[in-house]
Amino acid sequence: MSPIRVGIIGLGNVGGGALRLLHGNASQIERKLGCPLEVSAVCSRHVHTAPSEAVALHPAAFRTSDWREVVSHPDVDVVAELVGGTGVAREILEAALGLGKPVVTANKELLAEHGAELWGQARSRRASLGMEASVAGGIPVLTALREGIAGDGIDALIGILNGTSNYILTEIERTGAAFDDVLREAQELGYAEADPSADIDGFDARSKLAILAGLAFGVQASPAQIPVEGIRRIRTIDFAYAGRLGHTIRLLATARRGGDGLRLAVRPALIEKNTILAGVTGSYNALWVHGQGGDTFYYGKGAGPDPTGVAVVSDLIAAARSVRTSGVQPVPPFAHMELRSYSPVDTGTEERQFYLRFRVQDRPGILASLAAILAKQGVSIEAVLQEPYTDKGDLPFVTTLEPTRRKSLEAALKAMRGLDFLVDEPLAMPLEPTLTAP
Amino acid sequence: MSPIRVGIIGLGNVGGGALRLLHGNASQIERKLGCPLEVSAVCSRHVHTAPSEAVALHPAAFRTSDWREVVSHPDVDVVAELVGGTGVAREILEAALGLGKPVVTANKELLAEHGAELWGQARSRRASLGMEASVAGGIPVLTALREGIAGDGIDALIGILNGTSNYILTEIERTGAAFDDVLREAQELGYAEADPSADIDGFDARSKLAILAGLAFGVQASPAQIPVEGIRRIRTIDFAYAGRLGHTIRLLATARRGGDGLRLAVRPALIEKNTILAGVTGSYNALWVHGQGGDTFYYGKGAGPDPTGVAVVSDLIAAARSVRTSGVQPVPPFAHMELRSYSPVDTGTEERQFYLRFRVQDRPGILASLAAILAKQGVSIEAVLQEPYTDKGDLPFVTTLEPTRRKSLEAALKAMRGLDFLVDEPLAMPLEPTLTAP
């Protein structure tokens, strides 16, 4: 059969990885697809002045620095948008879908904000929209949710979706180094950006959670509707205290369906050490899914040219198949034909045990006054932990709380503001129930 | 849109689970599919005399004890074969495909033996063949290999694919009980069959590995081409010795692609304790995949009405979509349009460290004579381990071997036959490299 022809816009890490895989695995891909999958056009700003080695693997491809020439090219059947961001990327996808061409994208920000609209456009033009690379890089979690366990009714998701944060947290745990030092090291190693905010403040994980909520629950949650807390305030000492409690700390993206609706949140949390999730270290990603079919768990590399490239190429194979069925309604990328709007449920009403770490100027009566403030909100202290520490002017200690609603705790934290013995705002993290190794 | 109608043949555990999910998740499935998915016919021997509660959830479904009436029924668009075995099941699938109706099956034995032929038939009739439930129950490993990481080039698979064996091994490890006692307990709990051979002798895992080899490597390996060894000879003491080596024991289904071809095997093996695979305990299943995109890992329930029911219903959703695109080439169930015949590679040529456990009547010179036999085959002993033991007439001890080819070891084992101080044939297990938690 005649080849299906792909145009790739954006030739950075992910685009380069995809080009290498399309070259190296060409014969295997042909055996899967029943025809060759060819790269017929490539586009980047520097494709003329500084074509990469990956581009050189596809000498017959038309080269341009104008994305419009790729989208409209008659020899391009499928368009891959790998430029990122929410500006030009959106124009590219809309232009391609407008021509009825299937698209593939790795763009989590764009999909989290405008995914439902893009699917609406794709659907009306009967063109497919591939997005496996947008969440958890090389782990096929979207395909699993959309197709593999499509028949399941999902109650809960817990994801470790940001490799940079997970690297930083697990390096602090492993080495006992300080947050700032580990962050600097991660930046030097290329694991963290010069501006690390998107990763360590939880925004990247939040976009991914918004996408997952679409597939798992059929809702269109915009990132702004999802409470987010990053990992900047976590200190080495927190791992020592968490360890004494048999726990460790991870940045978790959680979705839990309850009687009153769907709770979404991205927050650092304590999880038990003897769990599969706690075994996810370094820059790996993972997703735990709980449904009627029991627990399933997915693990792998969340980023990098090859893992993300695999996701892009896998989507290109599916998109190429859809070229053969043009005119037929494509499989909905968010698993549901239409997404419902999301009504956020107050995460403050969920009961959890909490870890509450204070830094104080040591003097008598501190615990009594903190306990009194907590008691006034109906919050009971379960235990008090204090590691040996020498600096009486900045003494950390931890209390664990009996199960309480976050809003009660937050009211107590508000009442603590301005207490003169507090060196810093208290750090509260939930003890999050997760998949226990059976 | 008008409903797509399903006929279900075989109403045991898996069929019942599927019927419950199709009822309970009906509105969600409709949101995914764009139309209702209805059960229009059910078939089992006892459907008239003793219809189950699950059948009663679908009162409008036509009930029969003759599968032919389901397959040929004009109100049946998709046929699910859940009777098992390789006789009638094959007739059912061939009859349905002959009418151009998409089919869904959970039948690993049939797919392992005749999957390529069934796909040939499906392909010629342009009908889809769904089989997610045939391997690793509720874990969507086939969808992941076929679509999620379709663009990857896979080097190696390691699977824990038989829940019964894994339950028995990890119970021996956890409790120190004897193999026979744990097997009896598993039978009482319903985890093991009255005739446990398919599970504990590795045949079940071997069928699943044959199917996985099709998807991952595009080969049609028949089970008989795959060396298999079960877990009957493993004793409590083996876990003690493995533990001293920092290892545990699992029944592994492995596929490794090397320069000389693809090696497939099902065998108990020692794996390091600090690995994700070693964390798979009880009746859970798991699959580790190593490809160009790095490692991915999939974990969940391998059996049971709900997990396997989820797989069946997910396949039914995909099959229902394919009804809309009838006339279009379906996605190939084994990931490749055509499978190549498999040329087995001698697993004896692979180099491994080995664990070698002897049971002897203790007397001087034993180690020297065993070492001499090993040395004659060029096999070097790395270490000797001996736990305190009181029965001098049946004394177990273990040697670990330097990396050696299995065939050299097997030649040595052959030469040891008939040695009068051996109480039992020595037990050899490889130390299998696996995914180490990063």
Render pLDDT for A55-109 as a digit per residue (tens, 0 to 9).
999 999 999 999 999 999 999 999 999 999 999 999 999 999 999 999 999 999 9
Residue of B nearest to A316 (CA): B151
> Distances from the Cα of B60 to the Cαs of A139, B34, B54, in angstroms?
41, 21, 13
Q: Are B318 and A147 in contact (CB < 8 Å)?
A: yes
SS3 B211: helix
Of A24, A307, A324, the CB nearest to B328: A324
Placement of tokens 């390789």 in the chain: B86
Residues in a beta bridge with A354: A401, A430
pLDDT over 90 (residue B360): yes
Q: What is the count of residue pairs from A and B with beta carbons less than 8 Å apart?
A: 229
pLDDT in the model for residue B60: 96
**B35 and A CB contact within 8 Å:** no
Query: pLDDT by residue (tens digit) across A121-135?
Result: 999 999 999 999 999
Which residue of the set A101, A108, A208, A301 is catalytic? A208
SS3 helix, strand, coil % of chain B, rounded to 5? 40, 25, 35
Q: Does the CB of B338 have a partner CB in chain A at under 8 Å?
A: yes
The torsion angle over the Cα atoms of residues A299, A304, A307 and A310, rounded to 10 degrees, is 150
Give me chain A's average pLDDT, please: 95
**CB contact, 8 Å: A126 with chain B?**
no
pLDDT score for B436: 57
Task: Give me the amino acid identity at A251.
Answer: L
Least-confidence region, from A267-276, A340-349, A419-428, B118-127: A340-349
Residues of chain B found within 8 Å of residue A328, distances taken between Cβ atoms: 324-325, 328
**Is A308 in contact with A106 (CB distance < 8 Å)?**
yes
**Confidence bin at B438 (pLDDT 50/70/90):** very low
pLDDT tens digits, B221-232:
999 999 999 999
Q: Per residue in B136-175, pLDDT tens?
A: 999 999 999 999 999 999 999 999 999 999 999 999 999 9
Please give the pLDDT value at position A23.
Answer: 98
Contact check, Cβ <8 Å, B309/A293: yes
Nearest residue, CB atoms, A282 vs list B139, B149, B438:
B438
Query: Distance between CA B25 and CA A291 in Å, rounded?
Result: 12
Question: For the segment A175-234, what is each residue's pLDDT rounded down to a tens digit?
Answer: 999 999 999 999 998 888 999 999 999 999 999 999 999 999 999 999 999 999 999 999
pLDDT in tens, A135-164: 999 999 999 999 999 999 999 999 999 999
Closest CA to A306 of A108, A16, A78: A16
pLDDT, tens digit, for every residue of A377-419?
999 999 999 988 788 899 999 999 999 999 999 999 999 998 9
As a whole number of angstroms, the distance between CA A133 and CA A173 comes to 29
CA pair distance A136, A161, nearest whole angstrom:
6
From CA B78, how far away is CA A25, in angstroms rounded?
34
Q: What does the pLDDT average to over B58-84?
A: 97
Q: Which residue of A has its CA nearest to B298?
A: A298
CB B21 within 8 A of CB B313: yes
Q: Which residue in A has a C-alpha nearest to residue B215's C-alpha?
A: A32
**Dist CA B193 CA B181 (whole Å):** 14
Rounded to 5°, the CA angle B424-B427-B430 comes to 175
Let me know: does B335 contact B145? Beta carbons within 8 Å: yes
Q: How far apart are CA A5 and CA B238, in angstroms?
A: 56
Q: Which residue of B has its CA nearest to A133?
A: B148
Identify the closest residue of chain A to B275 by CA–CA distance.
A279
Rounded to a whole number, what is the largest CA-CA distance in chain A? 82
Per-residue pLDDT, averaged over B379-384, amounts to 96
Cβ contact, residue pair B150, A32, below 8 Å: yes
pLDDT tens for each residue of B17-40: 999 999 999 999 999 999 999 999
CA distances from B264 to B152, B158, B220, B356 (A): 19, 10, 12, 22
DSSP-derived secondary structure letter, A269: E
A44 min Cα distance to partner chain B (Å): 23
Chain A interface, mutation test: which of B37, B147, B283, most A Cβ atoms within 10 Å?
B147
A338 touches chain B (CB under 8 A): yes
Site from B131, B139, B277 to mutate, A interface, most A CB atoms within 10 angstroms: B139
The per-residue pLDDT for range B236-260, each reduced to its tens digit, is 999 999 999 999 999 999 999 998 9
Would you state the structure tokens that stand for residue A195, as one six-digit string? 């501006």
Strand B154-160 and strand B284-291: the pairing is antiparallel
Inform me whether the C-beta atom of residue A75 falls under 8 Å from chain B C-beta atoms. no
pLDDT tens digits for range A235-275: 999 999 999 999 999 999 999 999 899 999 999 999 999 88
Catalytic residues of B: 208
B327 → chain A, closest CA residue: A325
Q: Does B337 touch chain A (CB under 8 A)?
A: yes
Compute CA distances B301 → A151, A291, A292, B436, whole Å: 15, 11, 11, 22
Of A212, A231, A215, the residue nearest A223 (C-alpha): A212
Report CB contact under 8 Å: B21, A338: no
For residue B127, what are the contacts with CB-CB under 8 A and spacing of at least 6?
B96, B97, B100, B101, B102, B103, B322, B326, B330
Q: Do B148 and A152 touch (CB under 8 A)?
A: no
Q: Is A148 on the interface with B (CB under 8 A)?
A: yes
pTM across the whole model: 0.96
- Please give the share of chain A, as a percent, with pLDDT higher than 70: 99
| Chain B residues touching residue A313 (CB < 8 angstroms) | 150-152
Window 350-379 of B, Cβ < 8 Å to A = none
**What integer pLDDT is reported at residue A436 of this predicted model?**
56
